[in-house]
Amino acid sequence: MKVSILAAAAALLALASAAPTPQEFDGDFIDSIPPPTAEGAPAGATKSGPDVDVDTLVESTVSDISKRSTISKRGVASDNFVKVFDNWTGSTQTGGYLTFKLLPSYDVDLCATKCLANTGCVFFNIYDETNPAGLLHKCVLYSIASTKGAATNFGGQDHGGVISVKSLSAGYKKKALQEDVPGYHYECFGDASINAPQPGPVDPYMGVSFTTTSPSVCAAACDAKTAYNLKQAALNGTYRACNFFDFYNVYRDGVPYQTACTFYLISYDASFATNFGQKRNGYQYSIGESCGYTRDVLIGVDGIATKPGVIIT
Ligand SMILES: *[C@@H]1O[C@H](CO)[C@@H](O)[C@H](O)[C@H]1NC(C)=O
Ligand SMILES: *[C@@H]1O[C@H](CO)[C@@H](O)[C@H](O)[C@H]1NC(C)=O
């Protein structure tokens, strides 16, 4: 868990110099949003989530159940999630896909437990898939809440020739979508992202990432950017410190598309949340679940910090 957050933070650093800015949420910015890579669990019984094969997954799921008594706790779904749809014949095919788990049985509570244990998971789709290899119970995790309208993968024959039929597909959305992040406090802006003005000669904008899945990953990246900038400090000892980020979901025609995180030197409140989306190339892009996270302890003066030990003359 710690390792994966650090790896994600390193990946974000690589994107630090992305050119388009979210100001105005304009065409260039929208064009810079990469399409979701994987949108749902693949059909068939021979492959599972990234880099893990089916047997290993089933084995680890089963061993989880026997190791941890909380894993099959009844009521974990109803306590933490709201049912969005059920008894449907399509699985979700949409942005924000994280991974999927094979379950030993159709077990909504177990799938809910998997979602709670996965950083960034706010929605899961559980369904049965029957294919020539037999019956699979799939639990698919997402970082953006989805709808029945996005559950459009009805099986049939896929590119690999696997024929599958789906049943008992149900979607559940996490009750508390906002996430507490240690060291930060947050304010949510609903359906708008931050449009940050540049008040003086210093541009407060520090870049955007679309590889984030949760505010805690963004926070790790924000802190990693600051640490990196400290190492690269100018000769006079000054460097740009990340004090604020806006985490939000991007929807395309109402369907989950990407999660985004924008980084800034200084904190912005709801009065700056004025980007509501935009039409582009025939699609309507909109924003949801936008929350701004500010460091509890701000670094520098308006985000410009000075390396300890440097005397400014
Ligand atoms: C599920 O849907 C099928 C097909 O529409 C219907 O026949 C069945 O009664 C439904 N089952 C439940 C539990 O709602
Ligand atoms: C420190 O150096 C940076 C980079 O050369 C420059 O942009 C900044 O204005 C300088 N700050 C001060 C306080 O001299």
Question: Quick one: pLDDT band at residue 313, thresholds 50, 70, 90?
Answer: low
Mean pLDDT of 203-213: 84
Q: Which residue's C-alpha comes closest to atom 5 of ligand 2?
A: 234
Closest ligand (CA of 310): 2
Instruction: Give the C-alpha distances (Å, rounded to integers) separating 110 from 77, 189, 220, 305.
Output: 8, 32, 29, 47
Give the end of a domain, one of 174, 204, 239: 174
- The pair of structure tokens assigned to 128 is 């049965």
Statement: residue 151 has pLDDT above 60: yes
20: confidence class by pLDDT, cuts 50, 70, 90: low
Q: Which of 174, 201, 229 is the last residue of a domain?
A: 174
Q: Which atom of ligand 2 is nearest to the CA of 306?
A: 13
Round to whole Å and give the CA distance between 50 and 41.
Answer: 10
User: What's the CA-to-centroid distance between 24 and ligand 2, angstroms?
Assistant: 29
Q: Domain span at residue 244?
A: 2-32+179-306
Q: Are residues 150 and 227 in the same domain?
A: no
Closest ligand to C-alpha of residue 232 is 2
The rounded percent of the chain whose pLDDT value lies above 90 is 45
| 269 contacts 165 by C-beta, under 8 angstroms | no
- pLDDT, average across residues 233-262: 92
CB neighbour class for 117 (10 Å; exposed up to 12, middle 13-18, buried from 19): middle
Alpha-carbon distances of 204 from 1, 113, 182, 266, rounded to whole Å: 31, 39, 23, 7
Residue 25: per-residue pLDDT? 66
Probe residue for ligand 2, chosen from 202, 230, 236 as the CB with the greatest number of ligand atoms within 8 Å:
236
Q: Which of 217, 169, 205 is nearest to 16 (CA)?
A: 205
pLDDT: which is higher, 84 or 12: 84
Report the pLDDT value the prediction gives residue 281, as an integer from 0 to 100: 87
**Region of 287 on the Ramachandran plot (φ > 0 left; ψ -120 to 50 alpha; else beta):** beta
For residue 183, pLDDT beyond 90: yes
The partner residues of 174 in beta bridges, in order of sequence, read 81
- Same structural domain, 95 and 185: no
Q: Is the same domain home to 288 and 236? A: yes
Same domain, 215 and 286: yes
Phi, psi at residue 116, to the nearest 5°? -60, -30
Atom 12, ligand 2: residue with shortest CA distance: 236
Tokens (6 digits) for 200 = 């003086």
Residue 313 domain-assigned (yes or no): no
Same domain, 291 and 259: yes
Q: Are 122 and 140 in contact (CB under 8 A)?
A: no
Averaged pLDDT of the chain: 81
- The answer to whether residue 253 is domain-embedded is yes
User: Do 166 and 183 share a domain, yes or no?
Assistant: no
pLDDT of residue 109: 94
Torsions phi, psi for 23 (to 5 deg): -55, 130
- Token readout for 64 is 């989880």
Q: Answer whether residue 186 shows pLDDT above 70.
A: yes
232 C-alpha to ligand 2 centroid (Å): 13
Is 311 among the domain residues?
A: no
- Distance, CA 87 to ligand 1 centroid (Å)? 6
- Single out the residue in 129, 152, 174 at which a domain terminates: 174
The span from the first CA to the last CA of the chain, in angstroms, equals 44
What is the 67 CA–ligand 2 centroid distance (Å)? Answer: 56
- Residue 291 and residue 184 share a domain: yes
Task: State the average pLDDT over residues 119-130.
Answer: 92
Q: What contacts 30, CB < 8 A, 6 or more positions away? A: 278, 280, 285
Give the lowest-confidence range in 81-85, 140-144, 152-156, 236-240. 152-156
Q: Is residue 48 part of a domain?
A: no
Q: Same domain for 280 and 186?
A: yes
Ligand 2, residues at Cβ distance < 6 Å: 234, 236, 238, 312
State whether 58 and 142 are in the same domain: yes
224 lies in some domain? yes
- Summarize the confidence of residues 236-253 as an average pLDDT: 94
Residue 286 CB partners (closer than 8 Å, separation 6+): 191, 250, 251, 254, 276, 277
Whether residue 110 is contained in a domain is answered as yes
CA–centroid distance, 164 to ligand 1, in Å, is 19
- Flag whether pLDDT at 169 surpasses 90: yes
- Using the mean position of ligand 2's atoms as its centre, give its distance from the Cα of residue 240 in Å: 11
184 and 153 belong to one structural domain: no
Per-residue pLDDT tens digits for 126-150 = 999 988 878 999 999 999 999 898 9
Q: Within this chain, do residues 109 and 72 fall inside the same structural domain, yes or no?
A: yes
Look at the chain and report how many structural domains it folds into. 2
One-letter amino acid of 158 = D
Given a contact cutoff of 8 angstroms between Cβ atoms, the answer to whether 17 and 228 are in contact is no
pLDDT (average), residues 282-294: 94
pLDDT at 256: 86
Residues 184, 300 within the same domain: yes
| Residue-wise pLDDT tens digits, 45-65 | 444 444 333 344 344 433 433
pLDDT at res. 73: 61
Question: 198, 238, 213: which is closest to 144 by C-alpha?
Answer: 213
Substitution site in 202, 203, 238, 240 for ligand 2 pocket (most atoms within 8 Å of beta carbon): 238
Q: Which ligand is nearest to the CA of 86?
A: 1
In a domain, 38, yes or no: no
- Asked whether residue 44 is assigned to any structural domain, the reply reads no
The predicted structure's pLDDT at residue 274: 93
Find the mean pLDDT for residues 10-24. Answer: 49
pLDDT tens per residue across span 218-244: 898 899 989 999 999 999 999 999 999
Residue 81 scores a pLDDT above 90: yes
Average confidence (pLDDT) over 235-257: 92
User: Is 277 in contact with 286 (CB distance < 8 Å)?
Assistant: yes
Backbone phi, psi, residue 69, to 5°: -70, -30
pLDDT greater than 70 at residue 99:
yes
> What is d(CA 260, CA 250) in angstroms, rounded to the nearest whole number?
7
Decide: 119 and 141 in contact? Cβ < 8 Å. no
Q: Take atom 9 of ligand 2 and give the residue whose Cα is closest.
A: 238
